[in-house]
Amino acid sequence: MIDAVVVAHGQAAVAGRAAASIRSAGGLVQSLTIVDTAGDPAVAALCDDATLDARLLPRPDNPGYGVAANAGVALGRAPLVLVANPDVWVHPGALETLATSIDDAPDVACVGPMLLNTDGSPQDSAFAFPGLGQAVFDLLPLPARLRGSRLNGRLWSNGPVRDVGYVLGAFMLMRRRALDLVGGFSSAYWMYAEEVDLCRRFWDDGWRVRYVPTAQVTHIRASTTADRDLEMLPELFRSRARWYRQHGPRPMASIAIGLMWLGLGVRARLPGPRREAYAAAQVALKPE
């Protein structure tokens, strides 16, 4: 049985579609909670739809994705927990496939599906943990072929079920016991990298994380933040720097953060509308 949690910041239309697709798994889903971090009446109205059988958890204080997810998870008791973005829809049989995969492996804490773009093409869905390569790749104007390669921590979307460093936080099915033992999502990450931190802690605690490409979920990338990408850029780099400090070996972490600092500084001095955002992101790399 699964307790499903959809964390929405407005976006009632896509959140409703996500909830309906999750409910299509039938009796496998024991409860469905929509955590609304925007105080949007349209999101609240979704819970009036009897076919969704969803409860609303208002968090208009917008405590961050991970804290909001933790609050929704705490309302349930099912052995499996699904945490999802609102901008997803589940393909038939995907939840059943993921649940079987995690049930069949007692030491697996988390499984993730193959994520698809709206045109059906695969997204990056499974990753190795960040290293120096990712710090360089994220800041250089490299071809998409290299940016989406294993050199940048991206693992091939197609292929067999396999263990990975982490799966994308847009759709994570987790074992409640494992989630409780590691303390849930960290409140230190307001946005971005919360799933990277959580999966690192799963591995450190002796659990495994698994990618299951036979389960498919469509995901509209960055739909929540697309209209605020410049505003959110400092938060992205703040979270990346925090992850390196918490989980990377000290020399590697210092070098990675230094590379990001240099790259952002260069970009902040180039002409264009993103200069101020890059400068703010550079400042955000400093320890808090």
Per-residue pLDDT, 221: 74
Per-residue pLDDT, 262: 85
Which of 128 and 207 is assigned the larger pLDDT?
207
pLDDT band of 153, cuts 50, 70, 90 = very low
Rounded-to-integer distance, Cα 196 and Cα 65, Å: 13
User: Which residues are paired to 175 by β-bridges?
Assistant: 80
Query: Torsions phi, psi of 122, nearest 5?
Result: -75, 145
Residue-wise pLDDT tens digits, 36-88? 999 899 999 998 888 889 999 999 999 999 999 999 999 999 999 999 999 99
For the beta carbon of residue 228, count every other beta carbon within 10 angstroms.
11
Strands 29-36 and 171-175: unpaired
> At 261, which amino acid appears?
W
Closest CA to 172 of 240, 81, 54: 81
Helix or strand or coil: residue 74?
coil
* Domain range annotation of the chain: 2-122+157-219, 227-284
Which CATH number applies to 2-122+157-219?
3.90.550.10
Closest CA to 114 of 78, 148, 88: 88
The rounded Cα 181 to chain-centroid distance in angstroms is 20
Residue-wise pLDDT tens digits, 229-244? 778 888 898 999 998 9
pLDDT at residue 135 tops 70: no
Residue-wise pLDDT tens digits, 163-218? 999 999 999 999 999 999 999 999 999 888 999 999 999 999 999 999 999 999 99
Per-residue pLDDT, 185: 97
Helix or strand or coil: residue 178?
helix
Return the axis-axis angle of helices 250-268 and 229-247, rounded to nearest 10°.
Answer: 160
